[in-house]
Amino acid sequence: MNKTNKIIKKNIKAISSETLNGENYSRNDFARSILNYPAVMVPSVQEPIIERLSEALDKNVSLLDPFMGASNTLVTGMKYGMNVFGQDINPLSILLSQVKTTFYQKDELIDAEQRVMSSIKSDISDVIEVSFTNINKWFTVDVQIDLSKIYRAIRKEPNLRIRKFFWVALAETIRLTSNDRTSTFKMHMRPIEEINARQVSALKTFGSISKKNIKNFVDFISVLLEKGHIKKGKYTKNAEVVWGDTNSGINTKRTFNLLVTSPPYGDNQTTVTYGQFSYLPLQWIPLEDIDTAIEMDYLKTAQEIDAKSLGGKVKVNIKEIQDSIFDKSKTLKKFINQFNVEERKKAEKVIRFIHELDNSIDKMLPRMRKDSFLAWTIGNRNVNKQIVRNDLILNELFESKGIELFTGLERDILSKRMPGRNNFSNMMSKEKILIYKKIK
Ligand SMILES: C[S@@+](CC[C@H](N)C(=O)[O-])C[C@H]1O[C@@H](n2cnc3c(N)ncnc32)[C@H](O)[C@@H]1O
């Protein structure tokens, strides 16, 4: 490494607050606009951090995001020609990330779009292709018929890469045409009068989303081509995404020198319900077209994915984990000890979440090389009307593993950013970007 720690820190601290606060961020940025996945990172915020850490690592980077979500971190890493690897527990994140890290030719997408659209137009069947409990609550019959036409047209496509591309467009179509409100991530039906008065066409929505996604892809690929990161029709480095529970392990033998992530905050049962957000789209997308290695009955209930995610419903005996996690984090101990018996019961989910976060970090660290950087974007949340200082807790967890904070940045969260996680929960309007360095 040529640069001293002092210079690296100075370069990171020099990132302007306008950039960090997302003021230079384009709403049409490729990374965000393919599917509105919950709580994604803002590309303009993470890009300068990734860029500066890449310089610190002499531009030879293998990047890991162990909670990859909509894979915005990976996509940003690809712009800088990095090896990228992402993992997530949510099958919809896997599908979306597979597509976003795949190279598509403009012509193959345009040809496929024409085939899919003409197959839809000539389809006069009114057979409904999927069935699940409460389908009629979540979709009008007209929408079900239209979605079934789209489903049949996509299934006819012989090439899996192409099918994946259009499944993502179908997922966004479902988000916009189901009876579920788009204003929350939790499943919440629109009022019946609104459903009856609403004019939605799943076919038109799908047509325009497909066109928009093709345009976004072509733009992104032209950036990669321009930067020389695509040669002979392939990304020059490795880009891999896998399904997996980070609390159980990182599903690769690869090692990394950069980790960039924004973890869940432990509110996935209540406000930022990644799983519930994905439940309706996943009903319409065949598992074999996502990844047959997925070992989770994710459609069992609408809560299944969230229950299996960090901070979910895993039954652990609080007494068994409490002492060791309190030893690691005095901030957590203080937070819990302020409550009376009844409130404490409600706050125990925070202990479970932090215990799982700590365990997940233990799974990541062996994959991180000596002198690697780990950049975490994390905010605080409220439980029992008290702030959980996730930022301080994370510092303490790392300290307990012998890893000190290298440097940190703070950003304001713009309330106009939609759909941002902070619009839906009682979180503070600041987010921290905490950068650690693993020196051993
Ligand atoms: C804040 S999002 C990540 C956003 C992402 N960095 C981006 O910018 O697109 C958090 C992600 O963690 C995932 N997650 C939660 N628990 C997990 C677990 N145990 N293993 C792997 N992923 C998990 C959620 O499914 C969600 O996609």
| CATH code of the domain covering residue 62 | 3.40.50.150
Ligand 1 centroid – CA 69 distance (Å): 5
Ligand 1 centroid – CA 93 distance (Å): 8
- Going by the DSSP 8-state scheme, the letter that residue 180 receives in this structure is B
The pLDDT score that the predictor gives to residue 214 is 95
Give dist(CA 44, CA 25) in Å, integer.
5
Q: Is residue 35 part of a domain?
A: yes
Domain count, the chain: 1
Q: Is residue 29 part of a domain?
A: yes
Cα-Cα end-to-end distance for the chain: 15
Residues with CB under 6 A from ligand 1: 39-41, 65, 67-73, 87-90, 93, 245-247, 261-262, 264, 274, 309-310
Q: Is residue 358 part of a domain?
A: yes
Question: Is 290 in contact with 91 (CB distance < 8 Å)?
Answer: yes
The pLDDT score that the predictor gives to residue 426 is 39
Q: Is residue 38 part of a domain?
A: yes
Closest ligand 1 atom, residue 310 Cα: 16
Name every residue whose Cβ is closer than 8 Å to that of residue 212 and which is 6 or more positions away in sequence.
33
Q: What mean pLDDT, rounded, does the chain reach?
A: 91
Q: Is the pLDDT reported for residue 427 higher than 50?
A: no
Question: CB under 8 Å, gap of 24 or more: what pairs does 8-11 form?
Answer: 8/52, 8/53, 8/55, 8/56, 8/407, 9/406, 9/407, 11/52, 11/55, 11/56
Per-residue pLDDT, averaged over 161-172, amounts to 97
Q: What is the pLDDT of residues 370-407, one digit of tens each?
A: 999 999 999 888 899 899 999 999 999 999 999 999 99
- The type of residue at 122 is S
pTM across the whole model: 0.94
Crossing angle (nearest 10°) for helices 91-100 and 160-177: 120
Q: Is residue 192 part of a domain?
A: no
Q: Mean pLDDT check: name the lowest of 75-79, 178-182, 268-272.
A: 268-272
Nearest CA to ligand 1 atom 25: 90
Q: Is residue 153 part of a domain?
A: no
Range of the domain at 387: 5-104+219-438
Helix boundaries (H) for 301-340: 304-308, 318-328, 330-337
Q: Is the pLDDT reported for residue 173 higher than 80?
A: yes
Burial class (CB in 10 A: 0-12, 13-18, 19+), 278: buried
Q: Is residue 359 part of a domain?
A: yes
Crossing angle (nearest 10°) for helices 318-328 and 341-364: 70
Q: Is the pLDDT reported for residue 414 higher than 70?
A: no
Q: Mean pLDDT check: name the lowest of 33-42, 88-97, 100-109.
A: 33-42
Ligand 1 centroid – CA 341 distance (Å): 32
Give dist(CA 56, CA 331) in Å, integer.
32
Q: Is the pLDDT reported for residue 1 higher than 70?
A: no
Q: Which three-class secondary structure state does DSSP give residue 281?
A: helix
Question: For residues 423 and 46, which has the higher predicted lDDT (pLDDT)?
Answer: 46
Q: What is the pLDDT of residues 357-379, one digit of tens each?
A: 999 999 999 999 999 999 999 98
Give dist(CA 194, CA 428) in Å, integer.
33
Q: Is residue 375 part of a domain?
A: yes
